[in-house]
Structure 1
Amino acid sequence: MKTTLATQEACASFAPQPLEQLFLGCLAQNPRTQRELFERLSPKMLGICLRYMRSSAAAEDVLLVAFRKVFDRIGQFKQTGSFEGWIRRIVVNECLMALEKEAHWKNQTDLDKIHTPANQSGPEDMLYWEDLIKTMEQLPTGYRCVFKLFVLEGLSHEEIGKRLSISENTSKSQLSRARLQLQRMLKLDPRQN
């Protein structure tokens, strides 16, 4: 079946624009382009928000605030790195700021004061990703933030310290305590690692 030039052009008009084109449209404050960028990246960015926030409503709120900042500060993107990476950094920073407003997590460091129910499945059962995420959400906010930034985002302790305004050693300590607490909650033998 042969396609005509008009059919090819019509199909091309439905093809998603490259992110570089969307950046230029957003820079020109084109509402249609802003909507397309939001619709394209919001599912992925919402996934990031859900990793940090305790509820989906809070995650959605943070996502909207983050995209508002993206559109307000679009001129600050220097086009030296990934546009999506720049947006991701704004989303993660918004999550961290929301968590900081929500609780004074810097003071939550005493393991003896944590009373968290353990996962009901035994170590012989298969551990699913969802189980790990649910268990991780039960960690105190400070432990959870450092653990997610280190394990999921791949940041160094130095970068975590700068983002959270804590020392590098505090980041290392929080990560260590988060791992121990997760092992206890999952009833895993710490000597297995």
Structure 2
Amino acid sequence: MKLFQIHTEKQLISQCLKGNTNAQMTLYKKYAAAMYNVSRNIIKDDMRAEEAMQDAFLSAFDKLDEFKGEVTFGAWLKKIVINKSLDYLKKDKMYEKMASTDDLSIIEELEEFDITEQIEAIKKAMDLLPENYRVIFSLYYLEGYDYEEISEILEMSNTNSRVMLNRAKNKLITLLN
């Protein structure tokens, strides 16, 4: 039986700081699906994306006292998930793997597909992008970060992030044709 009901995210965070595991689970349930998608957009392996997302939550709960409320909790958590996902890429050296041209046969002309098939073709083509291109493409187009934010996250210059995004777009177009 619950003695009280937590109504706001601020209250949830306060309870998490006190070690309330029910509050942690509530926050986890609220954000898990969205944070998994963020991680999956960076790491194309479902299990590794799940692991990275789980590690990010553990890290967030460990560092919750560092959350100052300057941004929303979701935005703060998203940054942790992105960084943890990038760490997984680096650790696994997946960013060095290049997509095999043999895999291009799975993609047909988009004009023959309905919208669902077009989306699936784009997802498959994105999975064929080299990791560094897929990461920057996902951060910009799927997560909505601007060049400056991407530069900070990936620790590169603004110009380099623009160049890499342009190369990623061109590579994706090539894969789709």
Q: Which residue of 1 aligns with 2:111?
A: 124
Deviates more, 1:19-28 or 1:59-68: 19-28
- Structure 1 CA distance for aligned equivalents of residues 44 and 146 of structure 2: 24
Deviation at 1:108, TM superposition (A): 7.7
Deviation at 1:148, TM superposition (A): 0.9
- 1:154/1:40 CA distance change after superposition, 3 Å: closer
- 1:72/1:98 CA distance change after superposition, 3 Å: same
- Structure 1 CA distance for aligned equivalents of residues 7 and 122 of structure 2: 36
Deviation at 1:49, TM superposition (A): 1.4
Computing the radius of gyration over CA atoms, which structure comes out larger, 1 or 2? 1
- Does residue 18 (structure 1) correspond to residue 5 (structure 2)? The answer is no
- Tell whether the 8 Å contact from 2:67 to 2:76 is kept in structure 1 after alignment: yes
Q: Secondary structure at the match of 1:128?
A: helix
After TM superposition, the score normalised by the length of structure 2 is 0.84
Deviation at 1:118, TM superposition (A): 4.7
Structure 2, unaligned runs of 5 or more: none
After TM superposition, the score normalised by the length of structure 1 is 0.78
- Paired residues in the alignment total 171
Q: Which residue of 2 aligns with 1:185?
A: 175
- Structure 2 CA distance for aligned equivalents of residues 57 and 67 of structure 1: 15
**Identity of aligned pairs, percent?**
28
- Does residue 44 (structure 1) correspond to residue 31 (structure 2)? The answer is no
Deviation at 1:102, TM superposition (A): 2.2
- Tell whether the 8 Å contact from 1:52 to 1:145 is kept in structure 2 after alignment: yes
What RMSD in Å do the two structures reach over aligned CA positions?
Answer: 2.4
Aligned residue identity for 1:178: A
- Tell whether the 8 Å contact from 1:118 to 1:185 is kept in structure 2 after alignment: no
- Tell whether the 8 Å contact from 1:136 to 1:182 is kept in structure 2 after alignment: yes
- Does residue 175 (structure 1) correspond to residue 165 (structure 2)? The answer is yes
Structure 1, unaligned runs of 5 or more: 1-9, 188-193
Q: After the TM superposition, which parts of structure 1 deviate over 6 Å for at least 4 consecutive aligned residues?
A: none
- More helix by percentage: 2
